């Protein structure tokens, strides 16, 4: 099975414009940006509770501490939140009607229990289909996050920690090589 597509900046803008329409625009935008700007997996996004993201004073946490039962490898990990993402999430949170710390962060239209990992994955497939982006999946945000940071010179050890990987070889497989990266590399000489 081929790896999920990494999106260009232009494709991300198209995706955000597409999900910005409709009934759940704020939720959908927050869901996409959490994937692309934090590198979280579909299952991790589905497992989030409001209390994981929102501090008791109503501000967005600088870090999300995922418990072992919220992650793929069953190891807890810390997700660092950038300032841009925190602003976007604050906007989303301001529109939530229910605001109890145990409530799901990403609600589902059909369930008060929130989304499942499968629902998140299917939702992303619908987003990409609606935006006309082929080859992308719920893992595309994660791959794009890691690749973009690698393109900006972030070291593999930092990428490994941000991704929550135990092995550097796993992180290296996420980095999508492209012509720009190779041009920049040879021009360093």
The pLDDT tens digits for 137-147 are: 999 998 999 88
Selection from 108, 130, 127, 128 nearest residue 117 by Cα: 108
Tell me the C-alpha distance between 183 and 133, whole Å: 26
For 18-56, write each residue's pLDDT tens digit.
Answer: 999 988 999 999 999 999 999 999 999 999 999 999 999
Helices H / strands E in the chain, number of each = 10, 2
Tell me the C-alpha distance between 105 and 27, whole Å: 9
| Between residues 186 and 9, the one the model is more confident about | 9
Q: How would you classify residue 135: left for phi > 0, otherwise alpha for psi between -120 and 50, otherwise beta?
A: left
| Between residues 185 and 87, the one the model is more confident about | 87
Structurally, the chain folds into a number of domains equal to: 1
Q: Are strands 77-80 and 63-66 parallel, antiparallel or unpaired?
A: antiparallel
Which DSSP helix (H) or strand (E) runs through 77? strand 77-80
144 three-class SS: helix
> Cβ distance 116 to 46 under 8 Å?
yes
Residue 165: domain span: 1-189
Mean pLDDT, residues 81-97 taken together? 94
CATH of the domain at 184: 1.10.443.10
């Amino acid at each position: 099975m081929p790896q999920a597509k990494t999106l260009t900046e232009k494709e991300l803008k198209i995706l955000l414009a597409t999900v910005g329409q409709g009934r759940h625009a704020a939720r959908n935008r927050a869901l996409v940006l959490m994937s692309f700007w934090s590198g979280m997996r579909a299952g991790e996004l589905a497992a989030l509770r409001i209390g994981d993201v929102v501090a008791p004073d109503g501000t967005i946490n600088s870090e999300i501490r995922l418990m072992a039962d919220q992650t793929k490898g069953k190891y807890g990990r810390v997700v660092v939140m950038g300032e841009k993402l925190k602003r976007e999430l604050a906007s989303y949170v301001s529109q939530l009607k229910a605001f109890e710390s145990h409530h799901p962060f990403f609600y589902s239209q059909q369930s008060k229990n929130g989304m499942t990992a499968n629902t998140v994955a299917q939702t992303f497939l619908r987003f990409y289909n609606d935006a006309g982006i082929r080859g992308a999946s719920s893992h595309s945000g994660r791959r794009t996050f890691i690749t973009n940071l690698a393109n900006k010179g972030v070291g593999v050890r930092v990428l490994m920690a941000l991704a929550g990987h135990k092995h550097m070889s796993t992180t290296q497989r996420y980095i999508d090589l492209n012509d720009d990266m190779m041009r920049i590399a040879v021009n360093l000489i």
